[in-house]
């Protein structure tokens, strides 16, 4: 059994209104040293797979087909 962690983020150049709102709220709370904020999502799941390379390939396929909108989002897969 292996755990996959998929991190999905908007691609550079795609407007991120949630990130902008978070950044403004942090500045309003006195965290003026915060620069650009980008909002994303993290999905964790277990795979019944013993081979890390196969687990990563499966998780990447899941990310391309369902977890990320690859037109506007990129993703990173980690097997832990």
pLDDT of residue 26: 98
CA atoms within 13 A on the CB side of 56: 9
pLDDT of residue 65: 98
Is the entire prediction scored with pTM above 0.85? yes
pLDDT of residue 17: 97
Q: Specify the CATH number of the domain 2-79.
A: 3.30.1280.10
Please state the domain extents for the chain: 2-79
Mean pLDDT by 10 residues, the chain (80 residues): 97 96 98 97 98 98 98 98
| Count of CB atoms situated within 10 Å of the CB of 43 | 17
pLDDT of residue 27: 97
């Amino acid at each position: 059994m292996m755990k996959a962690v998929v991190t999905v983020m908007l691609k550079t150049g795609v407007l991120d209104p949630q990130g902008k709102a978070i950044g403004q709220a942090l500045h309003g709370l006195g965290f003026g040293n915060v620069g650009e904020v980008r909002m994303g999502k993290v999905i964790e799941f277990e795979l019944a797979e013993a081979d890390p390379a196969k687990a990563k390939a499966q998780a990447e396929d899941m990310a391309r087909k369902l977890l990320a909108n690859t037109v506007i989002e990129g993703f990173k897969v980690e097997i832990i």
